[in-house]
Amino acid sequence: MVKVQTDDECTKTRTDRAVASTLFGTSYPRGEFRFHDGLTRLLLLLGMLAVTSALADESAIKLKDGDGRALVEANCVMCHSLDYIPMNSVFLDRKGWEASVNKMIKAMGAPVPERDVSTVVDYLTRNYGKP
Ligand code: HEC
């Protein structure tokens, strides 16, 4: 049986080619697919995306300026991103931050020196406290 290609199928094939050549920067004149070339480009592309998002993260975690910021940055970043702080600012008032910082120290083992705890809590409440 002879399969008749409809207009629709023609268009689709052309679109797929166009997408492939956009992605891989290669045109496939006789329908051959240069797999290795395309794969290498794709991996490079993914690598670049990973680097870009890592850089984006870096700038996303700039904490607000203020007394105690250096302490927070020094004590709160070794286990997780500083993003956790702004992310929780909608939930935590002074009591909440106090509890959270104590949990980080007691349960997680954050090495915040005793004398710095109140500065850290003050900073978090002032800059990231629940309104
Ligand atoms: C020793 C590792 C460690 C350090 C240092 C640390 N944390 Fe955490 N933190 C964790 C872990 C692990 C979690 C996830 C806990 C969970 O899922 O319950 C977490 C979660 C959080 C959360 C999310 C809410 C919660 O309670 O789970 C906030 C907010 C937070 N940390 C703030 C801080 C602040 C502020 C500091 C600095 C005073 C800090 N962390 C230092 C380990 C740490």
Give the chain's domains with CATH numbers. 7-60 (no CATH), 69-128 (1.10.760.10)
Q: Which of 71, 73, 79, 127 to mutate to test the pocket of ligand 1 (most atoms within 8 A of CB)?
A: 79
Q: 97: buried, middle or exposed (CB in 10 Å: 19+, 13-18, 0-12)?
A: buried
How many Å lie between the centroid of ligand 1 and the Cα of residue 73? 13
Distance, in Å, from the CA atom of 23 to the CA atom of 114, rounded to the nearest integer, reads 55
Q: pLDDT truncated to tens, each residue of the chain (131 aa)?
A: 666 656 665 555 555 655 555 555 655 555 555 556 666 666 666 666 665 555 555 555 789 999 999 999 999 999 999 999 999 999 999 999 999 999 999 999 999 999 999 999 999 999 999 98
Helical pair 35-60 and 7-24, crossing angle rounded to 10 deg:
60
- Long-range Cβ contact pairs of 16-23 (< 8 A, separation 24 or more): none
Residue from 11, 32, 31, 15 nearest 23 by CA:
15
Protein residue closest via CA to atom 12 of ligand 1: 108
pLDDT at 7: 60
Protein residue closest via CA to atom 26 of ligand 1: 100
What pTM did the predictor assign?
0.66
pLDDT at 51: 58
Q: Which of 108, 124, 127 to mutate to test the pocket of ligand 1 (most atoms within 8 A of CB)?
A: 108
